[in-house]
Structure 1
């Protein structure tokens, strides 16, 4: 699965590790200048070219030459991550064993976590490893996201899935900010595209049918490059036709000039971190008052889709509107292009959906003048005007926990989250927001959600707390069963006085005082529809139960998502949506960001006698303050 490490590199690396861990590095005299960076001794250049073996070696060499302990640790961490990227899990493990993660800053902690994750997938098959290393979400720092895409590309190439690997490198390019690294990435993509053509995987092949347009553009360019042309004019005509077919393609940055000596007529599309750039141009206005809702009403997401649909229709029925009954499409039987085609034929003014992330990503890439409320987030930047993304993102809840803790005056936190992508996303969002508010996560640990005994991770996360280092609370991301067990085991380890804060995932959404008595005192963020009180909410919830029965009762959060999807739709129809818009919804206070994403601000509740009790409803002022301060996505 992983690239082999040359024996000489491996032996030298282990020797360097031994010297560093033993504290035997010889300091260079301050008056003697170090070697000047060149192509052969610069680890950043080696990493940019994809030579992580050499980068790890060079980082370790550099760590032996510095007298600054902090810089030495930083270089060792970079070496460990480079070794993990190269597939040398044993070297990476030895290096990371010498580093205390609680002493690392945010970015270095993210590097450490990525290296640990890559070590954990060593020895798995490429398919298994890819499942354990999913695409990065929008809140991941670019320097980490590009490494994840790089590793995924390696894994795809290891199983000869060349087009999938090229697609990973294309996504990596979105996150690169260094021009040298970006140019090297383009060169690698083009070289792999030539390999793909040689193996019969061209732009018209079956694997290319699942690729994005940019990846197909690379394959089409490589197809031109490998052909024998009767004259340069013929080749240049083919390049001109290619450029018309793929305007602003990344290959116009340098590949056309360097590989073909051809001057492009267009400029490459801008790259950057998703969740950061505003939509370009004014949003289209609805061409009619007809609304279509596209959901996977068959297949594995049918129950979720049904709850969202019912909530959508319930809210529509409670709104004074001239809009006709919404049209319903089964997105499980339609491609994204077919959904848009059907909407055009039906004269749809606003499209809502789809729900599953791959189809959301694909439909977001298709040209359309229909305003759309997608019911999930994409993992890459999308600046199409009028393309809005609404989801029940756990990052919003983690940020709400951090915000509540800061309002309580808490400054030092412990954190316990499940292993895997979901836990990493929640932890990153919590830590980023808590740090932005002036707090500090002093220690954290991960647990296996499939276990029932969490002694190891609990003892680990409490070690500093029990030794007098102090913490104001512990943030626990867990499902109800795990949350109850963790709460009980925290009491066993004499941490019963340590406040435990969590996301809505700790609560099923249905009152169960007998089981949830173990969660007494635990505070959590949740949506107003679930924990809110008052005559209006009580009346609406009773009406929903009477009309939709078990769906409204047992899928209450998805039902509320459907209600807010209608609210967004109704606002588009009446006034349109603009960046900075804030309004109350059933899933929280909704705030529209410049990139078209809708973020949520949650209510706060606490368990008393096994029952959730509302403490505070979400505030529109919080959303407006964040909007005026332009808080980045990863810190919301």
Structure 2
């Protein structure tokens, strides 16, 4: 019966293509021919005995998957009995099934299937193509589960077996995975590795991540690595822009000017950025690294910002860092060509194109919103409820989430807007359609004329919540979601809902919420951070601004590296930093969850799945050849 239904569905597919043709020439006719092949395979399978029946069903499912007819492919896969397939065909069944699981976001289920004992214990008896495809799928699943070391290991193992084109993309994927691993973990794995290429990759990754503020130290370690690992695959083409380190060290700015507000209402923020920059400078100098001469200018003491900007250059600045304020940053847009590279510490997105030498680096929440959309989508959510405050900030950040979410294929079902604690409950109740549920109950009571047992039911067309809120707001909103029968929905947020320090008594109300935040806030405090917290009063409130200052120091000699190498990153305290086509520094943050009243880092999938989804291109499919 189920096979008959599938044949009817496929017939509908054929009719939709516009009829049959025995001499396909156009793409439409070729697609029709494939649909006919699928229908023929299923018809033949219907009258066949096992295992021939399962083999034909598997072929049909493979063709449907190629045509992105995933629902039909899944129906066929659900029908066949895989244990009846010989090993070679069983391996293909695992590949098709795991592909379908991955596309549904069921990554752990895909991993279990790929690690089934029957396949793993006999993998070496299969063709090299089958083994490669299996290893690449495992690497993909590991990366999507956040097991980046395991993903890198898989790829390192198969790298010699790939052709030159695929080796290059595979090396990029290895590097991408290793760059998600903390320096502490890289050092741990380095101590326990057994040498070989894997050891070389780990050592290179530590060099790339552990010397962000000291180009000379990084260059010395890199040259030593190249001498030791002359035949290593990564030595053919150093990843992540490392080939530019020597030039960057030789051409670093000799004098840098900080243009920041050091008096007035923004003084605490400007001073925190300044102190972070100086702390990073001193740390590098104390380790023997070269640092620029530094001059600091208070933007609040000058009514003419552009005159101050020119003064800094006249007094020897080869690079400007600042301003912090958007209205002063806009003056640099108006100035046209700038004489020196300038790292503005904010971002303007609606003021036209920036001058060529202007780079914008700010702690903008829009980057976090886009990252949350990526993570939620990879975790197989598709229909979002947004909870946001009324006003400019809520509008901009929720719009950034929605744009990325809908570009991925998700749908924003509803925006629940609030103004203050007084309207939290009503706005949530309306957005969850609880009033409609209650009204429906009242109508039924009137119709039957007697009391009925009734439990309100929230809307069922949402599967996740994106919450924009400050800590105190989040501590009220999450319990209200539970009260309004939405406690089963996963909640995602940005760094705005975390104070940046532990408060286990208050944060018990937001247990379970997942959110983005910077390494400086979420990771164990470094020696530099401990010094800042000890020596500077009120440092707790401005943690993120210190990190902005430190990363400004780390970025200032590396802008060319980010410009010239697409996959280059700076691994900063504010996040994983890259440069987009508009000369804006984008940050990828860590991901955390409130667990037992504390923010706990949880692994995230790779930054982009484009490489993962395409890196099997060129691995010959030997299905037809083998049969």
Superposition TM-score, scaled by structure 2 size: 0.51
Partner of 2:542: 555
What secondary structure, in the 3-state scheme, does the structure 1 residue paired with 2:421 have? coil
Partner of 1:312: 277
Measure how far apart 1:524 and its partner are. Answer: 0.7
Partner of 1:528: 519
Measure how far apart 1:468 and its partner are. Answer: 4.5
Taking the TM superposition and a 5 Å limit, the aligned residue runs for 1:317-396 are: 317-320=282-285, 321-334=289-302, 335-366=304-335, 367-378=337-348, 379-396=350-367
Partner of 1:415: 386
Measure how far apart 1:546 and its partner are. Answer: 3.3
8 Å contact from structure 2 (residues 284, 291) kept in 1:
no
**Whole-Å Cα distance in 1 between the matches of residues 325 and 407 of structure 2?**
32
Partner of 2:489: 498
Partner of 2:475: 484
Q: Pick the structure with greater CA Rg.
A: 2
What secondary structure, in the 3-state scheme, does the structure 2 residue paired with 1:354 have? coil
Structure 1 counterpart of 2:583, from 587, 596, 599: 596
8 Å contact from structure 2 (residues 277, 553) kept in 1:
yes
Measure how far apart 1:540 and its partner are. Answer: 3.8
8 Å contact from structure 1 (residues 365, 382) kept in 2:
no
**Whole-Å Cα distance in 2 between the matches of residues 577 and 314 of structure 1?**
26
Structure 2 counterpart of 1:397, from 368, 372, 383: 368
**Whole-Å Cα distance in 1 between the matches of residues 374 and 393 of structure 2?**
20
**Whole-Å Cα distance in 1 between the matches of residues 276 and 327 of structure 2?**
23
**Whole-Å Cα distance in 2 between the matches of residues 539 and 616 of structure 1?**
24
What secondary structure, in the 3-state scheme, does the structure 2 residue paired with 1:454 have? helix
What secondary structure, in the 3-state scheme, does the structure 1 residue paired with 2:478 have? helix
Partner of 1:460: 430
Measure how far apart 1:402 and its partner are. Answer: 0.9
8 Å contact from structure 2 (residues 562, 579) kept in 1:
no
**Whole-Å Cα distance in 2 between the matches of residues 393 and 576 of structure 1?**
19
Q: What's the CA shift string for 1:578-626, capped at 9, x where partnerless?
A: 4734221111111101111111111111111221111136856679999
8 Å contact from structure 2 (residues 390, 417) kept in 1:
yes
Q: What's the CA shift string for 1:90-116, capped at 9, x where partnerless?
A: xxxxxxxxxxxxxxxxxxxxxxxxxxx
Taking structure 1 as reference, are residues 314 and 624 closer, same or farther at Cα in structure 2, changes over 3 Å only?
farther
Measure how far apart 1:493 and its partner are. Answer: 1.0
**Whole-Å Cα distance in 2 between the matches of residues 327 and 396 of structure 1?**
31
Q: What's the CA shift string for 1:172-209, capped at 9, x where partnerless?
A: xxxxxxxxxxxxxxxxxxxxxxxxxxxxxxxxxxxxxx
Taking structure 1 as reference, are residues 414 and 346 closer, same or farther at Cα in structure 2, changes over 3 Å only?
same
Q: What's the CA shift string for 1:404-445, capped at 9, x where partnerless?
A: 111211111111111111111111111111112221111222
Partner of 2:504: 513
Measure how far apart 1:490 and its partner are. Answer: 1.1
Matched length:
338
**Whole-Å Cα distance in 2 between the matches of residues 502 and 585 of structure 1?**
21
Taking structure 1 as reference, are residues 370 and 428 closer, same or farther at Cα in structure 2, changes over 3 Å only?
same
8 Å contact from structure 1 (residues 591, 623) kept in 2:
no
Measure how far apart 1:469 and its partner are. Answer: 3.0
5+ long unaligned stretches in structure 2? 1-247, 438-456, 616-627
The Cα RMSD (Å) is: 2.7
Taking structure 1 as reference, are residues 299 and 326 closer, same or farther at Cα in structure 2, changes over 3 Å only?
same
**Whole-Å Cα distance in 2 between the matches of residues 325 and 569 of structure 1?**
13
**Whole-Å Cα distance in 2 between the matches of residues 375 and 624 of structure 1?**
31
Partner of 1:565: 552
Verify: 1:406 aligned to 2:377, yes or no: yes
Structure 2 counterpart of 1:613, from 600, 603, 620: 600
Taking the TM superposition and a 5 Å limit, the aligned residue runs for 1:227-246 are: none
**Whole-Å Cα distance in 2 between the matches of residues 608 and 328 of structure 1?**
42
Superposition TM-score, scaled by structure 1 size: 0.50
Measure how far apart 1:543 and its partner are. Answer: 3.3
**Whole-Å Cα distance in 2 between the matches of residues 620 and 585 of structure 1?**
16
Taking structure 1 as reference, are residues 294 and 425 closer, same or farther at Cα in structure 2, changes over 3 Å only?
same
8 Å contact from structure 1 (residues 416, 461) kept in 2:
no
Taking structure 1 as reference, are residues 622 and 322 closer, same or farther at Cα in structure 2, changes over 3 Å only?
farther
Taking structure 1 as reference, are residues 578 and 381 closer, same or farther at Cα in structure 2, changes over 3 Å only?
farther
**Whole-Å Cα distance in 2 between the matches of residues 612 and 623 of structure 1?**
30
What secondary structure, in the 3-state scheme, does the structure 1 residue paired with 2:486 have? coil
8 Å contact from structure 1 (residues 291, 352) kept in 2:
yes
8 Å contact from structure 1 (residues 476, 501) kept in 2:
yes
Taking structure 1 as reference, are residues 359 and 567 closer, same or farther at Cα in structure 2, changes over 3 Å only?
same
5+ long unaligned stretches in structure 1? 1-282, 629-636
Taking structure 1 as reference, are residues 560 and 618 closer, same or farther at Cα in structure 2, changes over 3 Å only?
farther
Measure how far apart 1:548 and its partner are. Answer: 3.3
**Whole-Å Cα distance in 1 between the matches of residues 506 and 487 of structure 2?**
18
**Whole-Å Cα distance in 2 between the matches of residues 435 and 524 of structure 1?**
20
What secondary structure, in the 3-state scheme, does the structure 2 residue paired with 1:501 have? strand
Taking the TM superposition and a 5 Å limit, the aligned residue runs for 1:128-277 are: none
Relative contact order higher in (CA < 8 Å, ≥ 6 apart): 2
Taking structure 1 as reference, are residues 384 and 361 closer, same or farther at Cα in structure 2, changes over 3 Å only?
same
8 Å contact from structure 1 (residues 297, 303) kept in 2:
yes
User: Which protein has the bigger helix share?
Assistant: 2
8 Å contact from structure 2 (residues 562, 578) kept in 1:
no
8 Å contact from structure 2 (residues 385, 465) kept in 1:
yes
